[in-house]
Amino acid sequence: MSGNRDGATLEQVAARAGVSRQTVSNALNAPQRLHPDTLDRVRAVIEELGYRPNRNARGLRTRSTGMIGYRMTPRDRGVLTPLMDDFLHALCAAAEARDRHILLFTAPLGEPGLAVYDDLLAQRAVDAFVLAETVVDDPRPGWLAKRGVPFAAFGRTWSPGQAGPWVDVDGAHGMREVVRHLHSLGHRRIGFLGWRQGDGVGDDRLRGWTEECTRLGMSTEDGLVVRGANTIEAGRRGAAVLLDAEEQPTALVAVSDAVALGALALLAERGVPAGSGVAVTGFDDSPLAAATLPGLTSVRQPVERIADQVLSLLDNTSETGSLLRPELVVRASSERR
């Protein structure tokens, strides 16, 4: 009657099935070693008793928990990053599909928080990490790789020879799609509301805008680019700058939904109809993009596929990186002119 709370232990299953503990273990971990009849009998008892192996015992023996560590960063007030919440959910589901679980932890923002990673490893609380919100020159990939800890990152560190496998979204490709879409609607002068220089993600997205505008023979002059923080307010101010310029753009491409929201707010203030008047696009396809009025054309990040690939990379050490294509989602903020 000891063992799992109400649940059976391997020993109890063995006794009831009339086999040794070893055989029950094999039924679970190496079923091909058992005679089909034995296997059936053992499985029936496992089912009957609702037996599930004790994770601690298994982990102690195999030197692995089924746990994957994931650091949650606090949200800054006024900054919208709903994407990461969606990613976390997708990651959680993908882990379960592999019979693993996510162990959540926090670490001070900015600070790499490597001590926390070290501690979790020393306790053997996790056997791998998923990294997200990687930044330029992020120290984590190198640190983990040096120690031989399995990990995979959602996001690049934008440094040559990045350590370890990663999955990322091709932001430049997404922006090229946006520009092509606007061009097809008749826009010939398109402004860009970006983040400050030096942010890998932001610079990558800007590159897409630049490349596609150039390819289509549209201007990419300095006056068409305004940079700022990832806030609604920054988007509003940036949009004002672009629309007050001598030569107005007819479309505003924002580096993120938050920034695009600011542009929409400015247009509303000025009574300019977003979409039919000046087109606005965002990036990330946050829930707000669908909810806002008019709906915001945006670029959806395939979080489920990202999560799935990140977890695949944890086991498969041969691959190094992969770039996923995001998908353009057209809404009323970019209508036919």
Partner DNA sequence: CTGAAAGCGCTTACAG
Residues that bind a copy of itself (CB under 8 A): 4-7, 50-57, 59-60, 65-67, 72, 74-75, 77-80, 82, 85-86, 88-89, 92-93, 96, 101-106, 119, 121-125, 147-148, 231-233, 236, 258, 261, 265, 268-269, 271, 287-288, 290-293
Quote the distance between the C-alpha of residue 169 and its chain's center.
Answer: 9
Q: Is position 83 an interface residue for DNA (rule: CB under 7 A)?
A: no
- Please say which residue, 71 or 205, places its beta carbon nearer to a copy of itself: 71
Give, for 128, the enclosing helix (H) or strand (E). strand 128-131
Note if the bond before 294 is cis, omega within 30 degrees: yes
Instruction: Name the pairing type of β-strands 151-154 and 190-195.
Output: unpaired
Site for DNA, residues 38 to 67, rule: CB under 7 A: 38-39, 51-54, 57-58, 60-63
- Please say which residue, 28 or 145, places its beta carbon nearer to DNA: 28
Q: Is position 23 an interface residue for DNA (rule: CB under 7 A)?
A: yes
147 makes contact, choosing from a copy of itself, DNA, none, with CB < 5 to 8 Å by partner type, with a copy of itself
Q: Is position 1 an interface residue for DNA (rule: CB under 7 A)?
A: no
# residues contacting DNA (CB under 7 A) = 31
Distance CA 114, CA 125 (A): 15
Distance CA 46, CA 318 (A): 37
Which residue bears the tokens 């700058």? Answer: 241
Distance CA 269, CA 273 (A): 10
Distance CA 216, CA 247 (A): 19
The two tokens of residue 191 are: 């402004």
Distance CA 195, CA 210 (A): 15
Q: What's the min distance (Å) between Cβ of 110 and a copy of itself?
A: 16
Distance CA 7, CA 121 (A): 30
- Please say which residue, 200 or 228, places its beta carbon nearer to a copy of itself: 228
Q: What's the min distance (Å) between Cβ of 10 and a copy of itself?
A: 13
In the list 34, 153, 175, 226, the residue contacting DNA (rule: CB under 7 A) is 34
86 makes contact, choosing from a copy of itself, DNA, none, with CB < 5 to 8 Å by partner type, with a copy of itself
How big is the chain, counted in residues? 337
Residues that bind DNA (CB under 7 A): 2-4, 9-11, 19-23, 25-26, 28-29, 33-35, 37-39, 51-54, 57-58, 60-63
